[in-house]
A and B are shown apart, each in its own frame.
Chain A
Amino acid sequence: MNIDWFPLLNSLRIAAISCVLVFFTGIFFAYYAARLPRTVKGILDVILTLPMVLPPTVCGYFLLLAFGVKRPLGLFLQQFGVQFVMTWYGGVLAAAVVAFPLMYRTARGAFESFDETLAYSGQTLGLSNAYIFWRIRMPACRQGILAGTVLAFARALGEYGATSMLIGYTPGRTATISTTVYQLWRTNDEAGAFFWVMVNLAISTVVLLTVNLLENRQKKAVAK
């Protein structure tokens, strides 16, 4: 069987890059949201979590509203040669938007259970705030943040709705595993669809096993 591996590579690069983006933005918002006054935090929390509960096609709709080729923002970006519609990096945007809440919520949970006196004592000892964040807060929250990252990666890898709305399916250009499965099934290539389903299952299983492993380690760390 002569297999075109492009969908796997495309899915992996979309998932990997969006995962990196979501890692930093998720942590950033989680860290600052934990410090906001209650009401502002509540509102921000709803907005930031919406992509998780909305149907992905609705997210795709909003993305098209913003970045569509005839929309102001889309037109503006085209001047710099950036176009999110029908490009593989548009897939990064779609996957990042949908995966963001997973990272944000898990990281926020980890930050909220952080013992703030550790940060205070670091400050009184003269440690810089950046040092405290990266060397004390992040290590203390590392299990939660890792779990969030893995979940975000898995979600980005499996993204279908928003991706198909924004970048569609072009073999060799924008095809991902999930859009390929749909396309092959639609064109009666049952064997091809089954193959990609298996690939997806394998990756997702590994990811979930990793999450469980991390959670077990966290439980042990807490028990200590």
Chain B
Amino acid sequence: MSLIVDIRRDLGKFRLDVSFEAENGVTCLLGASGCGKSMTLRCIAGIEKPDEGHIELDGVVLYDSEKHVDLPPQQRKVGYLFQNYALFPNMTVRQNILCGLCREKDWGVKETRLREMLGLMQLEGLENHKPHQLSGGQQQRVALARILVSDPRLLLLDEPFSALDGHLRDALKIELRDLLQRYGREVLMVTHDRTEAYNMSRQIAVMDKGRILTQKPTKALFADPGSVPAAVLTGCKNIAGARRIDGHTVEVPDWGLRLEVAQPVGEDLKAVGIRAHYFNTATSRNRFPVRFVEEMEEPFETIIQFRFEGQAPDSPPIWWRIPKEKRPAQLPPEIGVAPVNVLLLYEI
């Protein structure tokens, strides 16, 4: 099971130039809105046509501009879960799912597969409902059922949780993750939400302005995003330009300090990032005097903004997130960060 994508297309404001490979399991394209993620999915599904390039799934060429191959979406066997689920409003749940079985001609088989899928998706009893009578979660299950009965080689998920309320979203994430694990196929999902990407996927490819910046296993990406856009997308709040001093020291002019780092520093270092959770009052390394600016309470955490003593006036304050019960009654005069928690960013 493998997907190879290498396509280019002019998107007006910028050029989509995407090249990546994905294998078994869930791969996520993580990127800000309008970076070309959905267009990439559409090109893979055959709904949109790239200007040039090559798309291959399990050894079958779906699109190749040089060989003039461009399979219609009907022949690609690529399932596409749309953001709004795209259930056919004039059809019942049963008819919607049967649409996914249109390639199967034997009515007995159709009926059996339909029953199986209704059971798997816990949709029994809703067969004769119209989509508008269903809850958001049920609609998503019907849309998935309809796709999975068609037995696609690849499943594309386009922001699968964006249409749902926060509460429902978490429950459905777990549900969908378990289902995808059982289903055991290749899945490509796009999202702009780092938590979703972290929850659902094994591999993440970070997209920015039509390009793939990095592709890494999920945890490795969050531990070392490697570029400024990837750091921002994975939720890093504190980023500033930096330059290398020696193998394990960097200078951050905007913050007016030098940081000791754990990883060896490359020559072409552009910036450093420190996640808001990573500041520490106890550490003895990278400890600097600070001035507190602002504080905002969240239900379970406190966001504290501060400035380093030598920080440039035009540089934004630093964010520090701390669980409420750990917030010291008296804010400390100095705050530090462990060298291993300084992210080295090589691309802006």
Contacts and interface: CB of A to CB of B under 8 A. Distances in A.
A123 B73 contact: yes
B47 A140 contact: no
A125 interface: yes
A140 B90 contact: yes
Nearest to B99: A125
Given A124-B80, A131-B102, 13 more contacts: A117-B84, A118-B86, A120-B45, A121-B80, A121-B82, A124-B47, A124-B76, A126-B77, A126-B100, A126-B102, A127-B102, A136-B88, A140-B90
Contact of B74 (A117, A127, A140, A224): A127
Nearest to A136: B88
A113 interface: no
A128 interface: yes
A224 B73 CA distance: 31
Contact of B45 (A124, A136, A139): A124
A122 B88 CA distance: 9
Nearest to A121: B86
Nearest to B151: A126
Contacts of B184: none
A4 interface: no
B133 to A, nearest CB: 9
A124 B82 CA distance: 11
Interface of B: 42, 45-47, 72-74, 76-80, 82-84, 86, 88-90, 99-100, 102-103, 132, 143, 146-147, 150, 152
Given A118-B86, A120-B86, A125 B146 contact: yes
Contacts of A125: 79, 99-100, 102, 146-147, 150
Contact of A122 (B42, B79, B84, B99): B99
Interface of A: 115, 117-118, 120-128, 131, 136, 139-140, 224
A124 B79 contact: yes
B90 A120 contact: no
B89 A117 contact: no
11 contacts: A120-B45, A121-B143, A123-B47, A123-B74, A125-B99, A126-B77, A127-B74, A128-B74, A131-B102, A136-B88, A140-B88
The 7 closest A-B pairs by CB, nearest first: A121-B86, A123-B73, A139-B90, A124-B80, A117-B86, A120-B47, A117-B82
Contacts of A122: 88, 99
A136 B91 CA distance: 9
B69 to A, nearest CB: 17
B12 to A, nearest CB: 14
B89 A140 contact: yes
A122 B74 CA distance: 8
